[in-house]
Amino acid sequence: MANGRILFFSSPALVGRALQLADAAAITDGLPGNSTALALMPKQMDVLCDVAQSLFLVNSQPDDSDGVLLDCIVCLDDLLRATELNVPANYIAVLSALAERLESNSEFGSFLAEQGIDRETAEDAILWCVGAIAVKSTWIG
C-alpha cells in the first residue's frame, strides 16, 4: 500500500521499486522480528485471481470444481479490505452467499436459482469489485 492505494507490479523483479513506494507500515505489518519484506517476498506468483474465468463460471456454468471462482471472490475481498472501500450491500450479500456455498460445495448453479440470485447480479458484483480495486491501485510496470 502507498498513500491508501494498492501497489501492483508485473514481475518479482519490481518488488524493490514497490517497496520504495510503499508506506512504512505496509512493509512492516505482519513481518516477524527484524526480517525485511524483500527477503520474504515470493520469487514466483503465489496467488491467482482469474477474473475472466470467474466471470465465465458465474455467468454460465453450474459448478466451480477447480475453485477458481471461490479463489477470485476471496482475493477480491482481501483487496477491497485493503482499500477500505465499502461494497454495495446487494453485491456483498451475493458474493458472501456465493463464497459460503462454494466453501462447502462446488456446485452453485442450483444454489443461485434456489436463492433467487440472478447470475447477472453476481457478475456485476465481481465487475464492481474489480473496478473499485483498479481505481484504488497504482500499477508499476
**What pLDDT shows up at residue 62?**
97
So what's the pLDDT on residue 36? 53
- Distances 117 to 30, 61, 93, 122, 137 between C-alpha atoms, Å: 37, 14, 10, 7, 30
- Give, to the nearest 10 degrees, the angle between helix 51-60 and helix 68-83: 120
Spatial separation of the C-alpha atoms in residues 134 and 128, rounded to whole Å:
10
* Rounded average pLDDT per 10-residue block, the chain, 141 residues: 88 84 65 49 67 98 97 96 94 98 98 96 98 94 82
pLDDT value of residue 114: 97
Q: CA 123, CA 118: separation in Å to the nearest integer? A: 9
What distances in angstroms separate CA 44 from CA 9, 10, 14, 38, 108, one per listed residue?
Answer: 12, 11, 12, 13, 31
Q: What is the pLDDT of residue 34?
A: 40
Grid cell digits, residue 135: 481505481
Q: Minimal CA–CA distance to 47: which of 79, 5, 25, 23?
A: 79
**Burial of 65 per CB tally in 10 Å (0-12, 13-18, 19+):** exposed
